[in-house]
Structure 1
Amino acid sequence: DPQEMQLLSFPTPPPPTPASQYPPPWPPSTPARFGPYTTDHNSEGPSLDLQLSISVKKPLKLRQVLRSYNNNNNNNFVDHHVMKKMDSSCTDALKWQAAEQIRLAAMERAYAERVMELTRREMELAQSEFMRARSLWERAREEVERAENMKRQRSANSSTCMEITCLSCSQKFRPN
């Protein structure tokens, strides 16, 4: 029955064209969001929200499905030639699916490597900023110490030289 065959047939992937034989360029030319959050600095890349999409499933064996259908319905509507053709199309579909999974895995690996590189750069930048802040803090602390030393020296020098003159009686007083 053609209608039954149509229900049992699995879609075959389209034949590869020169453009579809290779994965699309990475990163995509159009901006894409890879998660709920994206980075704001330099629009350099997506956030670290990685979602891997590799799944390992046991493929359906078309031959077993058709045999069980034939056994349950007690009719032999699928001959050997059709079975062989379906097996080859199923094999082609599995090959296409495997190639697609490999392509996706390669894209995800490239993405993960890019994220690791960006993270490494950000860590280096943070370390250099921390070192710069530490040196600024050290210089400021040295300046404060110098100012306190100068203040102590000036107050010690000025106390020995300082004289207070009373405006009403013009008497001079020296602090002790």
Structure 2
Amino acid sequence: MATDASDHPLLDLTLSMRVGTRRPSPGEESQSCAKSLQVLRQQTAEQIRLAAAENAYAERMREVTRMEMELAEKEYARARLVWERAREEVKKVERMKEMATGRINSACLEITCHSCHQRFRP
């Protein structure tokens, strides 16, 4: 028994093929443009958000660097003061050494021998 396609109205096996691109209707085209525009706006907003975040980070780094520079300048000034004080102390000690050496030399001249009563000469 042969069956005809008209006997079964639910089965529609007709295939269609089209070569080339399908042209969207004016309504679909405007929807596509609107979607593209929305995606572009979202991308732009994300780029602006990232740029603002990078700007805030750069500003914070500038502030941290400025504070570190101020701290380094203060430490340098403190170190310079310590060095100058140490240099003054060295000069003071050298003067004291010279004075002590002079006293020792003069004290040596005053030392006399008990047996011959002659002055000691270094």
Confirm whether residue 146 of structure 1 aligns to residue 92 of structure 2: yes
2:77 alignment partner in structure 1 = 131
Give the partner amino acid of 2:39.
A
Shift in CA distance, 80/170, structure 1 to aligned 2, threshold 3 Å? farther
Confirm whether residue 118 of structure 1 aligns to residue 61 of structure 2: no
Q: C-alpha root-mean-square deviation of aligned residues, in Å?
A: 2.3
Consecutive unaligned residues of structure 2, counting only runs of 5 or more, are 1-18
1:33 alignment partner in structure 2 = none
Once the 2 structures are TM-superposed, how far is the Cα of residue 125 of structure 1 from its aligned partner? 0.8
Q: Is the 8 A contact 1:159 1:175 kept in 2?
A: no
Looking at structure 2, the residues matched to 170 and 100 of structure 1 have their Cα atoms a distance apart, in angstroms, of 106
Equivalent in 83, 92, 99 of residue 45 of structure 2? 99
Of the two structures, which has the highest relative contact order with CA contacts closer than 8 Å and spacing of 6 or more?
1
Once the 2 structures are TM-superposed, how far is the Cα of residue 166 of structure 1 from its aligned partner? 6.3
Once the 2 structures are TM-superposed, how far is the Cα of residue 160 of structure 1 from its aligned partner? 1.2
Once the 2 structures are TM-superposed, how far is the Cα of residue 78 of structure 1 from its aligned partner? 1.2
Consecutive unaligned residues of structure 1, counting only runs of 5 or more, are 1-71
Q: Is the 8 A contact 1:166 1:172 kept in 2?
A: yes
Looking at structure 1, the residues matched to 77 and 95 of structure 2 have their Cα atoms a distance apart, in angstroms, of 27
Q: What are the superposed Cα offsets for residues 62-96 of structure 1, whole Å, 9 maximum, x if unpaired? A: xxxxxxxxxx92x5441111110010011011111
Looking at structure 1, the residues matched to 113 and 26 of structure 2 have their Cα atoms a distance apart, in angstroms, of 127
**Percentage of pairs with the same residue:** 42
Give the partner amino acid of 1:101.
Q
Once the 2 structures are TM-superposed, how far is the Cα of residue 156 of structure 1 from its aligned partner? 1.1
Query: What does 1:145-164 align with in structure 2 at a 5 Å threshold?
Result: 145-162=91-108, 163-164=110-111
2:121 alignment partner in structure 1 = 175
Looking at structure 1, the residues matched to 116 and 78 of structure 2 have their Cα atoms a distance apart, in angstroms, of 57
1:87 alignment partner in structure 2 = 33
Shift in CA distance, 170/120, structure 1 to aligned 2, threshold 3 Å? farther
Q: Is the 8 A contact 2:113 2:120 kept in 1?
A: no
Looking at structure 1, the residues matched to 85 and 116 of structure 2 have their Cα atoms a distance apart, in angstroms, of 47
How many pairs were matched up?
103
1:23 alignment partner in structure 2 = none
